[in-house]
Structure 1
Amino acid sequence: MALVSALQIPYREARDGFWGQQTSTLNWCEEDYNITFYCAEVVNTLTNLVFLWLGYTGLRDVLAYSHSRIFILVYMGYMVVGMGSMAFHTTLKYEMQLADELPMIYTVCIMAFATFSYRRPAKIQVLIAAAIVGLAVFITVYYLYAMDPVFHQVAYGLLTACTIFRGFYVMERDLRPQLSQRVPAECSQYMREMYKLALTGIFMFLAGFFIWNMDNIYCHHLTTTKKQMLLPWAVILEGHGWWHILTGLAYHMIIWRVWSTRCLEGSEKEFKLDWAPLWSVPRVLVREIEAQSIAAQQQISLVRTQVASKQREMRLAQLTRSEMASLPSDTAVYEGVGKMYVPALLFVSVPITALQDKLSSQIKEIETEVDSMGKRLHYLETTAKNSQEHIERMLKGGGQSS
């Protein structure tokens, strides 16, 4: 307790701020400008960094592995939500509140389009897109008119729920039968893995929602406790910050959709879900074929270096033999005995013909080794080429789906 007391930092007494009077229709339990003059809600602002980090990670993987292009928009929307929320909690201005809340609607609309339009005819996809755009416009216009945060929250919740349940329906209607035919022994494992991924995201979302509401209900008591705990310890009681972290980690639901899309395409053997529940952020990656390609490239580099070394050694032996061929047969020649750079190295006289024979034998051995290395190099280059072509075919095939 002495250590805790020694590290306690008092809150800022003044409550004036750089951004002036609040104009947003919402405010949170974190007291305004209680840490710095320049940011209204520091904890609620910084916890949005999880959206930027996970959004960047997801976007990088979509581009690297050519996942469906629709997820580029999903991850960009996800990052915009984080940036909008940071702006909102920094300023508590109504315009920034809209920059936080409306992208939430638009991002889940993109996910809804990806879910409801998957493998539909082009005309149906256009109709679905038009309907979703119309819905997004209606929600935006009505929200701007009513300025009712509850309406926004209900609309967001219903859109999210519809998208999730549609995803579950597609899994059972389409994916389970497909997996039962392609990989009957592993079908249950794939389905269980996907449900676990989706339910983990849902649980995190609901846990964040619960903490957010407890933060609102017990705000007075929490504020009193925070003033006793002081900084930095009181940060853990900022419930809305936990809402940001947990809803950010509900990113699992996006990965669930990426992985289910790959499996619906029949690519479950080419890709894998890289995820240790509660210990890592899930990712959908290319399987070991990529690792094989990288290993082959490394081996190619090593073998080429060895071949170059042997060729230099052979050229030296050939040059020495050529020089000796021009000498008279009775010329005294010497051969080193022992290790080079060792003081005890000795030279002994040997017949010139014996040394020539030895060099010829050495050259033949090196030629045999170089030939063997050449065959191995050809094998490795073929393996690397085939692996790369396989990966490119997979990525092109995946990148064309929508």
Structure 2
Amino acid sequence: MAAVATMKGFEGYWGPPTATMDWCEGNYLVTPYAAEFFNSLTSMFIAVAGILPLLIHFRRRDCMEWRFIIAFLSVTIVGLGSVAFHGTLLFEHQRWDQVPMLWTVAMILYVLFEQKHVQPAYRVLPVALFVYAVVATLATSKRSGDMQWFSFHGFFGLATFLAVCKVTLFYRSLPKDMTELRKVMSYGFIALGVAITVWLMDLKLCNQLHMLPAYDYWNFHAWGWHLMVSCGLYNILIGIWYHRLKVVLEKDVSLCLSPLPHIAFEERTRTMERSQALSRALTEEFERSIVAQAVAEARTEARSAVAAEGHRASDAVQQAVRQLSQDLEALRKGLAQRGPEGPSGVDVAKLAEKICEEKIEKLAISEHTMKTQAEALELLQNKVQLWEESLRTKLQALINKVDSKCLEGFAPFLSELGSALGNKPKVLSVDRTQDSSWCNHSNSSGNSDSQSARSPQAPSRCDPKSKVVAPQVQRQSSASRLEESQQIALQLTKHGGDFVGVIKEFESKRFVSAPDISEMRKVV
């Protein structure tokens, strides 16, 4: 079949046309580098119609099957081939336009036949379509003139007719409640119908159309066929893809009609929200397990610190006993230095009074220090308790906002994970080693004079559960003991050298422990 439109203007950059088709637009009217400028320009609509869905849904390419990717890319290749064909009107570039059209319609047939099957159902179908595309390519590429025109339109028309029948059956099978999908498919049918109509008009009525003013610049093939076929292919392929995702693959998607028909992946939004909620829930559960373990460790360390004070106090008592032994040893040496005359009762009383005063002073200082440290420990424990209650309240408020389904199956794992954690906040124990020589431990050795220094009803100062006596009471106790020691000193002056009486007086008042009394008896 001869070309419908004759070459107009002058011979351009690509030389005389060798293609079997020369469309109604005048050649080289705008630029010498484009034979049919407007046909070449509007061919880009086809390329955009193929690449645009891939760009719009690029972030959800994981939901795009290869059959649709190849179909859209094939449409893009058809558009680029059409640009080359209309820009040069050379036969080799005409094949770049027609051969991709054959392969594209074959790919669309495969999509239509496998539309309602999750897995490929027709194993022979890809082979049959491949054979068809190869035969049609050879028949179109190896011939020229009218035979080439009939070969291409015969193969392409047959596959297109079959594709239109399948799309029509697909459209009629759609439920009426899928209004958006039916609208998109209707837009595609209307666009393709208009495209075929203007294509035939431009092909058959070229001479009559050229009677219209400036028809070369707004010809039907450029602004009718290329534009409308782009819209038709875009809408139909988007509708088929949406139906497969929504109905066949059961994806959570929706079809939006503006500004362009596209698929909205609602599953992506919900998945992200659930993922964020799950992440928050895991973080809160993780922190809660850490807090619980940290609080338990803090309580354990606080109790251990209190219990350790008893052991420290026992060491302090033993040190006090050793100090008293040294004082007695100094007393013994002093008595020995007095010679045969022996010491006077006044000297012994003053020495004893000095020892008692030093001991009472140490008791007052140590009791005040212990009271301060006990108050600090109690304040620390209260802070730990308040911290635990505050964190529990905040974490519970956050966890209540999270979907309960997100935490199913994670609680046991998180509990084990939290228990295995090694990093936890430490509670600093209070240093009570200073001035603790006053304290007497119940498990200390027989050298301790604590039992003789206080009444049986008095609480043990080393007991963690016992409360520290107020400094005022201790000062009164210390003053009373000082008065007693002074009275003893006055009595000693009356006894003179009666050292046995001195020792009995010490023993009756329980100022000195039994081992020390024995030591004094040896000295005397």
TM-score by length of 2: 0.49
- 1:216: which partner in 2? 203
Amino acid at match of 1:47: T
Distance 1:150 1:108, change over 3 A: same
- 2:255: which partner in 1? 274
Deviation per residue, 1:310-336 (Å, 9 max, x gap): xxxxxxxxxxxxxxxxxxxxxxxxxxx
- 2:269: which partner in 1? 291
Distance 1:39 1:159, change over 3 A: same
Could you tell me how far 1:44 is from its partner in structure 2?
Answer: 0.9
- Give 1 or 2 for the bigger CA radius of gyration: 2
Q: Which moved more, 1:46-55 or 1:295-304?
A: 295-304
- 1:45: which partner in 2? 40
Could you tell me how far 1:168 is from its partner in structure 2?
Answer: 4.4
Measure, in 2, the Cα distance between the counterparts of 1:89 and 1:289: 43
- 2:16: which partner in 1? 21
Asked whether the equivalents of residues 184 and 239 of structure 2 are also in contact (C-alpha less than 8 Å), the reply is: yes
More relative contact order, 1 or 2 (CA 8 Å, 6+ apart): 1
| SS of 2:18 mapped into structure 1 | coil
- 1:130: which partner in 2? 127
Asked whether the equivalents of residues 24 and 92 of structure 1 are also in contact (C-alpha less than 8 Å), the reply is: yes
Q: Does 1:249 align with 2:231?
A: yes
Amino acid at match of 1:98: R
Could you tell me how far 1:377 is from its partner in structure 2?
Answer: 7.9
- 1:142: which partner in 2? 139
Distance 1:135 1:121, change over 3 A: farther
Measure, in 1, the Cα distance between the counterparts of 2:12 and 2:392: 80
Asked whether the equivalents of residues 12 and 35 of structure 2 are also in contact (C-alpha less than 8 Å), the reply is: yes
Q: CA RMSD in A?
A: 4.9
| 1:6-85 equivalences in 2 (<5 Å) | 15-60=10-55, 61=57, 64-85=61-82
Measure, in 1, the Cα distance between the counterparts of 2:99 and 2:82: 10
Measure, in 2, the Cα distance between the counterparts of 1:111 and 1:285: 23
Asked whether the equivalents of residues 277 and 402 of structure 2 are also in contact (C-alpha less than 8 Å), the reply is: no
Distance 1:147 1:132, change over 3 A: farther
**Count of residues paired in the alignment:** 324
Match 1:375 to one of 399, 406, 409: 399
| SS of 1:33 mapped into structure 2 | coil
| SS of 1:284 mapped into structure 2 | strand
| 1:3-402 equivalences in 2 (<5 Å) | 15-60=10-55, 61=57, 64-117=61-114, 125-143=122-140, 144-145=142-143, 147-148=145-146, 149-169=149-169, 187-190=175-178, 193-227=180-214, 235-251=217-233, 252-265=235-248, 267=250, 270-276=251-257, 280-286=259-265, 288-294=266-272, 367=391, 370-372=394-396, 374-375=398-399, 382=406
| SS of 1:188 mapped into structure 2 | coil
Unaligned stretches of 5+ residues in structure 1: 1-12, 177-186, 305-355, 384-402
Could you tell me how far 1:100 is from its partner in structure 2?
Answer: 0.3
Amino acid at match of 1:281: L
Deviation per residue, 1:289-317 (Å, 9 max, x gap): 3223445678899999xxxxxxxxxxxxx
| SS of 2:33 mapped into structure 1 | coil
Measure, in 1, the Cα distance between the counterparts of 2:240 and 2:188: 11
Could you tell me how far 1:129 is from its partner in structure 2?
Answer: 2.2
Measure, in 2, the Cα distance between the counterparts of 1:271 and 1:291: 10
| SS of 2:87 mapped into structure 1 | helix
Asked whether the equivalents of residues 303 and 373 of structure 1 are also in contact (C-alpha less than 8 Å), the reply is: no
Amino acid at match of 1:258: W
Asked whether the equivalents of residues 114 and 120 of structure 2 are also in contact (C-alpha less than 8 Å), the reply is: no
Distance 1:363 1:236, change over 3 A: farther
Asked whether the equivalents of residues 254 and 264 of structure 2 are also in contact (C-alpha less than 8 Å), the reply is: yes
Amino acid at match of 1:145: R
Distance 1:223 1:164, change over 3 A: closer
| SS of 1:45 mapped into structure 2 | helix
Could you tell me how far 1:369 is from its partner in structure 2?
Answer: 6.6
Q: Which moved more, 1:256-265 or 1:362-371?
A: 362-371
Distance 1:188 1:16, change over 3 A: same
Asked whether the equivalents of residues 22 and 93 of structure 1 are also in contact (C-alpha less than 8 Å), the reply is: yes
Sequence identity, in percent? 21
Could you tell me how far 1:75 is from its partner in structure 2?
Answer: 1.2
